[in-house]
Chain A
Amino acid sequence: MLTYLLKRLTSLVISLLVASLVIFLVVEVAPGDPASFMLGLNAQPDTVAALRSELGLDMPKHARYLGWLSGMVSGDFGMSYTYRTPVAQMISDRLWVSLPLALMALALSTLIAFPAGLFAAARRGSAGDMGVMGATQLGVAIPNFWFAMMLVLVFAINLRWFSAGGFPGWEDPLLALKALTLPAIALALPQAAILTRVMRSALLDILGEDFMRTARAKGLSARQAIWRHGLRNALIPVLTIIGLQFSFLLAGAIIIEQVFFLPGLGRLVFQAITQRDLIVVESVVMLLVFAVIVVNFAVDLAYAVVDPRLRSRR
């Protein structure tokens, strides 16, 4: 187990370093001057020169990379050029919206997918299975912003249970959660559809395994056999998808954030790109990479919890 942990940790650190280097190279070293790019075509040469020195672009590249890296480690992401505020502050404000939103959506999609997948797998070929599979087909096909608009129409405009958009802040946690509920549902539905299909097929694979027959021979009913022996074995592919979905939900909510006027990470990146605020873009991208890698690490650890063969592998 310790070896497994060490190996995963080593690979985590190496992935982070490689990712940071790639991001740095793409943004800063690639042909074209970031400063003149940020200021646009009609910028005055002296303004460009001023920005260059402000950004430290006149320093050697390796020093800039190390400076950027050590800054990030100590929580200093630099200043936003457009807003003139520390990027770290901007990101953390937005994270307080995006992270809870992603977690809510993930929890919802898991809560929908597990029972639905189990139901469909246990009744393979039945009308119930076909109904679930049809619903997931729709869920995958229909874009989440359409769900979002329908939710707004029904629950905000007609029923007036929720507000149609905006985020009141976390002063009143209940109000904040309420504001995030509709967007979380809209985000969760397509993810739940995918996860249901994965869950169903993973379970069907497991149902054909010899040890499921052994379980029945012991006297377990079909249902008991699935619960006691099927579920945990089916978790491995499901965990993989959950890990991928979390990373996607964290930053992939741009459209949903637009529909609900939520000040999340997605909107931040979108605005930063349109305003050519490279420093913000770079920092958010690095943060997302960090999230993806850490989530993958967590998924790897979860594998080891689920599967003893990984724990003892040397």
Chain B
Amino acid sequence: MTGDTLLSVEGLSVAINGKTILDDVSLTLAAGKILALTGESGSGKSMTALAVMGLLPGRARATGAIRLGGTDLLTRTEAQMCDLRGNDIGMIFQEPMTALNPVQTIGDQVAETILIHGAADRQAARIRAAQVLGRVGLPQDRFPLTRYPHELSGGQRQRVVIAMAIALRPKLLIADEPTTALDVTTQAQILDLLQSLVREEGMALLMITHDLAVVSDMADDIAVMQRGKVVETGPTRQLFARMAHPYTRQLFEASGHRVSLPPHPPADRPLLEVQSVSRDYPLPRRLPFMPRQNFRAVNDVSFALMQGDRVGLVGESGCGKSTLTRAILGLEPVQEGRILLDGAPVFAHGHPNLEVRRKMQVVFQDPYGSFNPRHRVGKLITEPFHLLPAQPGASERQDRIAEALTAVGLSPGDADRYIHAFSGGQRQRIAIARALIIRPELIVFDEAVSALDVRVRAQILDLMADLSRQYRLSYLFISHDLSVVRTITDRVLVMRHGRIVEDGPTEQVYTDPQHPYTRQLLDAAPRLPEITPESPHAPA
């Protein structure tokens, strides 16, 4: 089988309401092979997958051909496509948390794929469902068919989605960002599972991802998409070695982007002191009137951040880093220990300490959700002024708005525009301008670049390095992304189960991790191949 073309997309174009979404896309994928489709958001990767599934939005018009084993899917009727989906093509989605029906057991949902195609009777379908769940790593003794999705973790749910997709051993498996929402260690496991399915069951895998590192060591071929077009395609090794198209090169360089952080200024005094902090959450009562149990989200955490320090805080979801962040920002009280900024507590007498708050600003992950859409940028970025004891006058206000916007690479004229007029990267620049405008001592970056495309992310990281140079910034950079933390910090804290398990200079932690968990994280993190692409303009 291997070597025969299974899927061939020929000159596929898709338009929605006259707007071109896909433009002359051609791909081929052989049985037993993995084709990675990569590119930034809006490049048409997911649309290509939905076109293959025949699940394009109602108003979309597709031309060209999508051949699966010789038949053109675009000429199939909806009823014929229903037969095909789940049977010959299986699909896995990005969000395992919401991809399953919350009111049905996992057994029913996996068995449904088999029943809907009349492949077996109810009894046989359940037996097959149990087998498939076992195959994807959910054995019956621990994960019986009667489990509901909410009783499983994100990685386990993704396994259920995979089980649904492969229950009838489809020839083609499409995975749309299957690990983007997962932690690195879970990601590594799911990628292993997908690879073994391709190897052992002879499926062809069309894998969509924005992350070059993820596919670099598993895909046989890579197709790079930009604005609805395939700009470069070829065998993985060759493509990385050649990088004929400048966009491929840009993506590669941005993915592994290293900033030049200015040298660490000599530290003279501790800025942020976290002293034996614990944070408890009450759990729901098991029975009415029973005493409440507590869940300790942050457990006896201590560290100090000196002035000029650029510290990273990494850990997987649920490790307590968000809880710790909220405590540092003074948004919530802690049950034990104390948090001092410049010697004063961040939370006092039941509310955040404003004296301290003006020395600390935060930049959040979501560049869309953290702004009021009805205010102009000038008003948005001057919001922190209310923390100041004396409000600056009108002309000083204008000066500071202009200065902050210029500092983040925007123009003073942008102050009069509304937030919807800006792209995701520009919005994150505005968020940084808002944090800078009152010249805080400390900035907390809470997953601040996680929602950005790689090229924009690289620009924002460069901006942060520049600002460090200009303003001698001290910051706490919280992220699940190990590669980003490595380049933007001097020191890193690794958090697990509410505790800091490792704390040391960034390079040292990355090259010589002491704690087994740090080692596990670093091993699981996908890495770009060690290729220095030849410059197209280099002398021969």
Contact = CB atoms under 8 A, between A and B. Distances in A.
Interface of A: 3, 6-7, 10, 209-211, 213-221, 224, 228-229, 232-233, 306-309, 312-314
B145 to A, nearest CB: 14
A229 B149 CA distance: 14
Nearest to B102: A309
B99 A219 contact: no
B86 A3 contact: no
A220 B55 CA distance: 11
B86 A314 contact: no
Contact of A211 (B91, B98, B283): B98
B390 to A, nearest CB: 48
Chain A binding surface SS class? helix
A312 B165 CA distance: 27
B87 interface: yes
A229 B113 CA distance: 13
A224 B79 CA distance: 12
A213 B93 contact: yes
A219 B102 contact: no
A214 B83 contact: no
Nearest to A232: B103
Nearest to B88: A219
A224 B116 contact: yes
Contact of A229 (B98, B101, B285): B101
8 contacts: A211-B102, A216-B53, A217-B86, A217-B165, A218-B165, A219-B82, A229-B101, A309-B150
B117 interface: yes
B286 A314 contact: yes
Given A3-B286, A3-B287, A217-B85, A308 B102 contact: yes
Interface residues of B, number: 38
B288 A216 contact: no
Contacts of A233: 101-103
Interface in B179-225: none
Interface of B, helix, strand, loop or mixed by DSSP: loop
B99 A211 contact: yes
B280 to A, nearest CB: 17
Contact of B93 (A214, A219, A228): A214
Contacts of A211: 98-102
A196 B307 CA distance: 62
A229 B102 CA distance: 9
A6 B151 CA distance: 22
Contacts, number: 89
B100 A218 contact: no
Contact of B285 (A214, A309, A312, A314): A314
Nearest to B96: A210
A218 B84 CA distance: 9
A176 B87 CA distance: 56
A221 B52 CA distance: 16
Contact of B116 (A213, A214, A219): A219
Interface in B62-103: 78-79, 82-87, 90-91, 93, 95, 98-103
Interface of B: 53, 55, 78-79, 82-87, 90-91, 93, 95, 98-105, 112-113, 116-117, 148, 150-151, 161, 164-165, 283-288
Contacts of B161: 214
A219 B117 contact: yes
Given A218-B113, A219-B85, A312-B148, 9 more contacts: A210-B95, A211-B98, A214-B91, A214-B101, A218-B164, A220-B82, A233-B101, A233-B103, A307-B103
A210 B161 CA distance: 12
B83 A219 contact: yes
A217 B112 contact: no
Given A3-B286, A229-B101, A308-B103, A217 B55 contact: yes
Contacts of B287: 3, 6
A210 B116 contact: no
A67 to B, nearest CB: 30
The 5 closest A-B CB pairs, nearest first, are A219-B86, A217-B91, A210-B98, A218-B86, A219-B85
A269 to B, nearest CB: 35
Contact of B112 (A209, A210, A216, A228): A228
A210 B92 CA distance: 11
Central interface residue in B55, B283, B288, by most chain A CB within 10 Å = B288
Nearest to B146: A308
A138 B150 CA distance: 41
Contacts of B99: 210-211, 213-214
Given A210-B95, A313-B284, A314-B286, A219 B150 contact: no
A214 B164 contact: yes
A219 B84 contact: yes
A297 to B, nearest CB: 15
A187 to B, nearest CB: 31
Given A10-B288, A312-B151, A313-B284, A218 B103 contact: no
Contact of B87 (A219, A232, A314): A219
Contacts of B90: 217
Contacts of A6: 287-288
Nearest to A218: B86
Nearest to B165: A217
Contacts of B82: 219-221
Contacts of A312: 148, 150-151
Contacts of B93: 210, 213-214, 217
B129 to A, nearest CB: 12
A93 B405 CA distance: 76
